[in-house]
Chains A and B, each alone.
Chain A
């Protein structure tokens, strides 16, 4: 009895993978894609026909959510809902939840892949490679990762000529005139740094509501805001913000939220666009 158990363990160890992967299929045909960037990568790889469902954060390309069943917000998944689609591969952003539902999905004997996320270029490349490997498109994924890496390298080279770093304040939302600003460890902080600028709120961690007085004291050169579905905030409607160097110079940059913060294959383009607007004199626009 014991020796059979041991043999079983040895076999599992020899296979070197979790049981879920033992049933992994070479070329999955029914993929559930959970996470905006995951879906974006799948579509960019030309795999959209194999995607049977996406989550609510899969907003790009817009037809993804319009045409595929929606399993709900990626942090409030229903285990049975996901499994009910009889997928042969479930790709989940690392942030998917709740933990109970994710654990149940992992147990169900369907191939699942947790796609790593992170806020560095390397993390983005790893994400692209993980998704493309999971669907058996290593080569296309490698090509995409190479292209993304190249774009970032080219941008870094161009940014080397930029003189003083711009000091940027990112405002996620303006509820009641109270700015909700991005500190370190946020996607906004990452893209600001990638674009060769400094986050004036970088000493604080996460998104935090600021008093407008505190926002003014940060004295940003540029205020960065994002628009969602065409709606955007006007930070200069807040007197304290209008009084900052950014306000005086009317230096407000607005970009599409998902494009700028999505951390997918379009990110290098978004970062270059941001950099081009931050440093118009550097000739970064393509």
Chain B
């Protein structure tokens, strides 16, 4: 099984293997595409309301104002499940792709927007928007309307990512350990800021914050989708631009430079894309952890580390994973609903530990 070889082999050897894997990557991509279609259809068909697939199909064909079934069923399919499915797929795709990008950029399979403070920065900005949009941030909230939350989260995530990168980079060389530690410190600092806002907020805001921080797609509406989707779609569409550069960076920044990669431009672009996708995802769905670690890591074992395949595969698999997790979130305790962050952490944390244990003995964790 090449999986073992991948984990231990020097980066250069890994890259050489990539060529042999392109056929395999194509097969994987087709399978993942199929999986996404199946999970998307499942997300439309499965929920606490028992609607036969035929009814769902008829309601979809009849349009949002159609009379194919009762008004309640039409609302469930068109106003609840459809925006929720699209939002779930986009958030899952964004988180997994961003995870793959950060792991490439930081040259460490454990990098994840949640672990290195990017989500924390985005969350802090989002929470500030929730709590302060009635007072200090009122002009900002008025200016951006429903986009205020994703825009704020983008800048929060961007600021965190830039800071982490700045702190971890000296004279063009990046220290992974320094960056991870800086990320942890920054995450804690953002946590303190968030905590202060929680202290300031009234009872209603407090409840909003508590459930928001657990993550969830239950609040998915067309409005929310309209606010978050453009940023996530843009980041996903631009992701292939950094794939080749990230392949180079795996060898080391100096080596990448000699391979003809514009390292500074690559870093800047990657950071913006990471902040864009993470910010929008965090803003619309709260903090959903571990998707960004688990999905790219498992895919790297399956199809190899070539980012040209890894990034799109991560998007497909991340979308499917979140759709499946969301189906579980809304059916396991129906008619109530579990916050999805609980599920992804419950699945992701053990996988994370497993990755750690596999890497024990290697130098650069």
Contact = CB atoms under 8 A, between A and B. Distances in A.
Grouping DSSP codes into helix (H, G, I), strand (E, B) and loop, the B interface class, with mixed when no group exceeds half, is loop
A271 B47 CA distance: 44
Nearest to B219: A100
Given A80-B80, A84-B48, A70 B219 contact: no
A18 interface: no
A80 B51 CA distance: 11
Interface string A34-60: 000000000000000000010010000
Contacts of B207: 75-76, 97
B330 A72 contact: no
Nearest to B212: A98
Interface stretch (A105-113, A130-138, A260-268): A105-113
Contact of B75 (A73, A86, A98, A109): A109
Nearest to B77: A80
A119 interface: no
Interface residues of B, number: 29
Contacts of A207: 203
Contacts of A72: 333, 335-337
B76 A83 contact: yes
A72 B339 CA distance: 11
A75 B211 contact: yes
Given A81-B48, A206-B203, A53 B335 contact: yes
Nearest to B84: A80
A104 B221 contact: yes
A72 B218 CA distance: 13
A153 interface: no
Interface string A86-130: 100000000001101101100111100000000000000000000
A216 B48 CA distance: 51
Interface residues of A, number: 32
Interface in A135-162: none
Nearest to B221: A100
B47 A84 contact: yes
A147 to B, nearest CB: 31
Given A71-B336, A85-B335, A100-B224, A76 B211 contact: yes
A135 B333 CA distance: 28
Contacts of B202: 206
Contacts of B208: 97-98
A110 B71 CA distance: 8
A75 B339 CA distance: 13
B216 to A, nearest CB: 8
Interface string A60-82: 00000000011111011111111
B218 A78 contact: yes
Contacts of A103: 221
Contacts of B75: 83, 104, 107-109
B335 A78 contact: yes
Contact of A78 (B70, B203, B224, B330): B330
Contacts of A23: 71
A70 B336 contact: yes
Nearest to A186: B203
Contacts of A86: 72
B72 A98 contact: no
Contacts of A80: 47-49, 76, 80-81, 330
Contact of A101 (B48, B49, B219): B219
A79 B207 CA distance: 18
A28 to B, nearest CB: 14
A148 to B, nearest CB: 26
A191 to B, nearest CB: 17
Interface of B: 47-50, 70-72, 75-76, 79-81, 202-203, 207-208, 211, 218-221, 224, 330, 333-337, 339
28 contacts: A70-B335, A72-B333, A73-B336, A75-B211, A76-B207, A76-B211, A78-B218, A78-B330, A79-B80, A80-B76, A80-B81, A82-B335, A83-B72, A83-B75, A83-B76, A84-B48, A84-B49, A84-B50, A97-B208, A100-B218, A100-B224, A101-B219, A103-B221, A104-B79, A104-B221, A108-B75, A109-B71, A109-B72
Given A78-B218, A109-B72, 19 more contacts: A72-B336, A76-B211, A76-B218, A76-B337, A78-B337, A80-B47, A80-B49, A80-B76, A81-B336, A83-B75, A83-B80, A84-B48, A84-B334, A85-B335, A98-B218, A101-B218, A109-B70, A109-B75, A207-B203
Q: Can you list the 10 inter-chain pairs with the closest CB atoms, starting with the nearest?
A: A72-B336, A109-B71, A81-B335, A84-B49, A78-B337, A84-B48, A108-B75, A100-B219, A108-B72, A71-B335
